[in-house]
Amino acid sequence: MRLIMIAPPGAGKGTQAKRLSDRYDHPHVETGDIIRTAIKNETTAGQKAKKYVDKGKLVPDEVVVELIEERIERPDCRQGFILDGFPRTLPQAEALDEMMQKHDLSLDAVLHLDVSNEEVTERLLARGRDDDTPEAIEQRLEEYRN
C-alpha cells in the first residue's frame, strides 16, 4: 500500500504514520528526519538544506526530491510505503507523479489531518525540537498554508 500523510507541522502526522507503518509493515518515510540525518552527516544535500531548516523554510525542491527518490527506490519500499512530509509543494507532487509512473506504481490513499494553528503551535512549543522556536513555527505554518 502506498499512502501519503498531509498535515500541518505538529499535528501528530509522524505518530500516526508510524502506527500505520507498524500495522502494514511498510517503511515510514519521514522527510524531515531524512533531511535532518543528511544535515547531521554533512552530506552535499545536508549542507544545502541546513540553512532552510534552521529558519523553518522549505528546503529547495530538487534537494528534497532527490533524497526521497533515493529512499523510495530502495528494495524495502517495493511493497509499499507511508510517505510523511512529502510532497509539500506542487513541483514535489509532480516529481512524485513522475516517480510513480516511472515504476508503474500508483498511490492508494492520501490522509489529511486537519488541526488548528493554535493547537499545533501549542504542541510544537511543548515538543521543543531545535527548529521549534516561535519564529520558525510561524514560518513553517505559513509555508504549510501556502
The residues of the shown chain that bind ligand AMP, judged by CB under 6 A, are: 9, 31-32, 35, 52-53, 56-59, 64, 85-86, 88, 92, 131, 140
State which residue, 104 or 144, has the beta carbon closest to ligand AMP. 144
| CB-side neighbour CA atoms (13 Å) of 23 | 9
Minimum Å gap between C-beta 47 and ligand AMP is 14
Q: Which of residues 9 and 26 has its CB atom nearest to ligand AMP in the complex?
A: 9
Name the minimum Å distance from CB 36 to ligand AMP: 7
CB of 14 to ligand AMP, least distance (A): 7
- 104 or 110: CB nearest ligand AMP: 110
- State the nearest-atom distance from the C-beta of 125 to ligand AMP, in Å: 14
Q: Which residue is nearest to ligand AMP (CB)?
A: 32
Q: What is the 3-state secondary structure (H, E, C) of the chain?
A: CEEEEECCCCCCHHHHHHHHHHHHCCCEEEHHHHHHHHHHCCCHHHHHHHHHHHHCCCCCHHHHHHHHHHHHCCHHHCCCEEEECCCCCHHHHHHHHHHHHHCCCCCCEEEECCCCHHHHHHHHHHHCCCCCCHHHHHHHHHHHHC
Kindly tell me which of 2 and 140 has the beta carbon lying closer to ligand AMP: 140
